[in-house]
Structures are given as C-alpha cells and as structure tokens.
Structure 1
Amino acid sequence: MSRAWFSQPLETVAVWWRIERRDGVTLGFTSHDRDLVFNGLRHRTAPGMIPSAVRKSATFEADSAEIAGALSHDSISEADLAVGRFDGARVTMGLVDWETLVAETLFAGSIGSVGREGAQFSAELASVKQQLLHEVVPRTSPSCRAEFCGEGCTLSVASYTHESMLSDVGGERQWVKVSGVAADDFAFGWLRPVDGGDAGVMLSIRAVEDDWLVLERPLAPGADAGLRVQLLEGCDHTVGTCAQRFGNAVNFQGEPYLPGNDLLTRYPVVQG
C-alpha cells in the first residue's frame, strides 16, 4: 500500500532529488537536516535547494517543475554549471519519510536549461512526457538522421574511439592538436578530457583547420600539452562518407536520391 502523505498534523517528510549526469556521476540531495541513505544512494542534506510546485496532469501536456537554490553545496559548483556538466542530466524528485525511509517519486525527467545569477542557480526540468513530442515517423532528409555510432547507425563506438593526448593548445584553449591521430577523421566528432577541469565532459569538434581541432568552447584553465583525452571520430552524415569511409551505406538513415521541392525549378540538360 502506498504511503498517504501529509495525512497527519505532524509529518516526518522531506523532499529528495536524484541527479544522474551524462558523465556517469549520480548525486542525491534532500531537504532534511541530515543525510539519508535509501534506494542505494546517499542523499546529502541540501537545505538551500528549494523545489517549486510540481505540476502534473493526466493529459499529454508535459509536466513541469523547477529547482532553485544557493551554490553552497560542494557537489554543485559554479564551474560545473558553467561547463555544462548538468545539462541534459536525468532527474527524479519525490518525498521520503526520514524515519522509515519510505520514498515515492513525484517527478521524473531531465534538466532542460540551467540559469545562474550571482550565488543562486535555477534549473528547469522537463518531464518524460517530452518524448511524446518526438515525431513517430521521421521526415525525409538527404542526410543521415542517425547519430554516428548510435541507434540505426549500428557502428561500434569502441571501434572509433581513440585515446591520445594534446600536443599543442592555441586559440585561447579552443584550438587543440592531438598526437598520433589523423585530425581529418575527427571533424564533427567529440573530445573528452580525461584529466583537468573538464574531465569527463564531452566537447563537440566543430571543424578541423590545418591539423587543429576547433572545439565548441575553450577548455578549462590549465589545459595544456600533455593533457590526456578520448576522441570519437565524426561523420558528416552524407551517403558518400557512409559508403566509402565506413562501408555502412546499408544502414544509411536518409533519402539522398529522393527528389526534393526544387525538382520543378530544374532546367532540362541537353545530352549531345
């Protein structure tokens, strides 16, 4: 039988949050004045974190919630928020009886956007109902819709992941050179530092210029030659690259030869 919350004049109830970041780190917090251990995780006391009203509906409209608080807990630092360690993290929120440790989940979703103002932060939470907004039947596209080494692509992440180290850093730490690999293979790929202030963070590689990898943002201060990194090769999602470089045209998730809307504006070509 589920617990009937707030049915008594005095209740031993606290709010809890569980945050699973994309880099594999899982954090637990509670509004109680001491740490609580349940569901296999220690939930650290964080009285400065305040949940807004959780709005749930029986319709297909997405539920919503928000967390606000002070940047006072060691597990949530301004630097981690700035580099995006919490962006897209999975979040569950609920109530727990701090005497019996009976817990119930009220909200499940992911962190949408994170805002910061002075010593305060706020995070908007998107419920799992957001997945209902995804198109069931994908739109046609001349380029591949699948994520490289993701669902539909079928290529192995391990086969195209390389371990190396930075040989040079420039452009205010946004341009890097990597030793022992061909830079052209990593256009539109990913770089993840193993050490330093960005350890565990996935940074997209926006372009390759003369053996320099141009990252989406500068690396954390202190990043220099010798920094260990993991690299995932990239793909431009064209059928030519899929067929010639990866030999994976059979799994190409696009329609490169389907006539587009410009078909009626094309002029005939005289063959002679």
Structure 2
Amino acid sequence: MTFLDHLATGSTTVCRCWRVTRRDGLRRGFTDHDGPLSFDGTDFAPGSGLAARAIQQGTGLAVDNTEALGVLDSDGIEAEHIEQGRYDGAGVEAWLVNWADPSQRMLRFAGTIGQITRHGDAFAAELRGLAEPLNVAHGRAYQPQCQAVLGDGACRVDLTEYAETRAIGSVEGSVDFIFPIFDEYSDRWFERGLLRVEDGPGAGLTGVVRTDRLLPDGSRRLALWAPIRAGLVPGQTVTLTPGCDKRLATCRDSFDNVVNFRGFPHIPGEDWLLNPGPEAEA
C-alpha cells in the first residue's frame, strides 16, 4: 500500500514532521506525534519544539509562504542560538508521515528560515520557499568596481594566505576591539573583511569589520558594523581576513589578482557627457 492509498482509506495514522538543518550542519527533527519517529537519517522528537501553520503554495513562481511556531527549549531550539543567528537561513523540510509506517510519507514543504521573532519563551519563524532565490537579481552590471566577493569562485584569491588568528587584547563597548602588537599589516587592511570567532559561546559566528586603525604603539583597533550576538571578552581567539574596496588598484597592488578582476575600470562615467572633448577645446 502506498501513502496515497493509505490516505484514501479515510482511516489514517498520519502526523507532521519537520527537519531543520542549520548552516553549520546541525540537524534537528520535530514531530507533532506523541512519540519519536526516525527516517531519512534523522530522529524526530515529539513535543512543542516546532509546529507550522497551514502551508500556502501556488503553481507559479510566487514564494511559498508559511510560518513555523515553537517554544524555546534546551532540548529543542535554544534561545541563545536564535539570538546568535545560528538559525538564520537554515533549511527546513516538512513531511506528512504515516507514523505507523514512516516509509510512507509525502514532502509538503522545502525552503529556508527567514525572519525570526521572539515572544517571551516562544518564537515565530518565517519560512521561505525554494522560489525565493528567483527574486534576487542575477547577471553582471557594467561598472568600474569589481563585482566579485573577495575569495569567492570568481575572485579566486586564497584567503587562507592572508588570514590572521589572534587573541583579543581588550573590548571596548560591544563592537570595538584592541589587538596588542599587531603592526604587520598597513592601516585599514582589514576594513570590509571578516572577523570569525574561534572559541567560546560564539564559536563560528562572524562579523564584518567597519574600521581598522593601526595605533601609534603598534596595537590595532577594529570596529564591527554590528555586535557579535554571543558577546566577546578579552582572551578569546578570532580569525581576521582582509576586505577589498573593489578597485582595480587594490586588486593589483594588494592581492596581485588583476587577471580575475570582475569590473570594467575603463568604462566612461556619467561625467563624460559634460566633457567637451578635444575637438571642442580646439
């Protein structure tokens, strides 16, 4: 008997199961059944860890729209992990399952987690369907600046050659950090780069560097655009990678990577319309 045959009997033993896969690879399974289930290499735990409203789906390219609801629980979804952003962009799959025979199931939804809001000890997560990436503009733009991201497949710079792992000397506020005796690199070298936390509660979290200043005593002050949501303290280890301002000169002089430059540095700017040209000057 197939799953559709089981549904056609009118006397069913079905439940819903959800699997959340975070970007760091951690998987969590949840079900609204009163007992645990296992299939597809995942254990689905009962309880109030996660539930979902009715799924709205269309036949066109509109984004599937639904919402997941849950209760913050140390055995399910932890409050601190939501605060740290570890569930941002996580993959979500939802099945209708015959709990008497989990091999009989139907995938009802696949997508990612969007915006998450908290309400006391509960949370609500927007679910975005697989058509969501189709709303993102694709293709190249004709502009002087490079369109690649430093270190990606188009840029091809090996960032491991430039990465620096250091212990934080002191913390000022929530986004400013001092690193002692760190003058091997020029002023502003790490601006637009990434700071990745290597240990402590925030291990694996990253932040974008807003400013990087080399101080007279050889120490270095870095400021992030936004705080690391797990918080950082002196002595924690972080890895810093440089940023790029997308200019041809930076690509050539700092990374020796002109062959992979993805901009059009010689394209005329808007001011060329106001340039009278050599004939008018004559």
Task: Compute the TM-score of the two structures, normalised by the length of structure 2.
Answer: 0.84
Q: In the superposition, relative to structure 1, how do residues 9 and 161 fare at CA in structure 2: closer, same or farther (>3 Å)?
A: farther
CA distance in 1, matches of 2:146, 2:45: 44
CA distance in 2, matches of 1:3, 1:157: 50
8 Å contact from structure 1 (residues 197, 220) kept in 2: no
After TM superposition, what 4+ stretches of structure 1 lie above 4 angstroms from structure 2?
266-271
- Deviation sequence 1:35-86 (CA, Å, 0-9, x none): 3222112222243522122122221222222111222353422222222111
Question: Which of residues 146, 162, 165 is equivalent to 2:164?
Answer: 162
RMSD over equivalenced CA pairs, Å: 2.7
CA distance in 2, matches of 1:134, 1:200: 26
8 Å contact from structure 1 (residues 13, 95) kept in 2: yes
Matched, 1:129 2:138: no
2:116 counterpart residue number: 114
Matched, 1:206 2:207: no
Per the TM alignment, residue 214 of structure 1 is displaced from its structure 2 partner at its CA by: 0.9
Q: In the superposition, relative to structure 1, how do residues 110 and 220 fare at CA in structure 2: closer, same or farther (>3 Å)?
A: closer
Within 5 Å, which residues of 2 pair with 1:1-272? 3-4=3-4, 6-102=7-103, 103-170=105-172, 172-178=173-179, 182=185, 184-210=188-214, 211-219=220-228, 223-266=232-275
Q: May I ask how many residue pairs the two structures share in their alignment?
A: 271
Q: In the superposition, relative to structure 1, how do residues 87 and 140 fare at CA in structure 2: closer, same or farther (>3 Å)?
A: same
Identical residues among aligned pairs (%): 31
Per the TM alignment, residue 33 of structure 1 is displaced from its structure 2 partner at its CA by: 2.3
- Paired letter, 1:95: L
- Deviation sequence 1:200-222 (CA, Å, 0-9, x none): 11222122134211123334576
Tell me the SS of whatever aligns to 1:114. Answer: strand
Unaligned runs of 5+ in 2: 215-219
Instruction: Name the stretch that deviates more: 98-107 or 245-254.
Output: 98-107
8 Å contact from structure 2 (residues 174, 231) kept in 1: no
- Deviation sequence 1:235-262 (CA, Å, 0-9, x none): 2222211111111111112222211333
Tell me the SS of whatever aligns to 2:165. Answer: strand
Per the TM alignment, residue 267 of structure 1 is displaced from its structure 2 partner at its CA by: 5.9
Tell me the SS of whatever aligns to 1:264. Answer: helix
Unaligned runs of 5+ in 1: none
8 Å contact from structure 2 (residues 37, 44) kept in 1: yes
Choose 1 or 2 for highest CA Rg.
2
8 Å contact from structure 1 (residues 33, 47) kept in 2: no
CA distance in 2, matches of 1:206, 1:2: 57
8 Å contact from structure 1 (residues 175, 212) kept in 2: yes
8 Å contact from structure 2 (residues 109, 129) kept in 1: yes
- Paired letter, 1:196: G
- Paired letter, 2:264: E
CA distance in 2, matches of 1:190, 1:266: 40
CA distance in 2, matches of 1:253, 1:200: 29
Per the TM alignment, residue 175 of structure 1 is displaced from its structure 2 partner at its CA by: 0.8
Task: Compute the TM-score of the two structures, normalised by the length of structure 1.
Answer: 0.87
- Paired letter, 1:253: R
CA distance in 2, matches of 1:133, 1:222: 34
CA distance in 2, matches of 1:196, 1:98: 40
Q: In the superposition, relative to structure 1, how do residues 157 and 38 fare at CA in structure 2: closer, same or farther (>3 Å)?
A: farther
Instruction: Name the stretch that deviates more: 28-37 or 79-88.
Output: 28-37
- Deviation sequence 1:69-117 (CA, Å, 0-9, x none): 2223534222222221111222222222223222332222222211112
CA distance in 2, matches of 1:226, 1:42: 38
Q: In the superposition, relative to structure 1, how do residues 118 and 84 fare at CA in structure 2: closer, same or farther (>3 Å)?
A: same
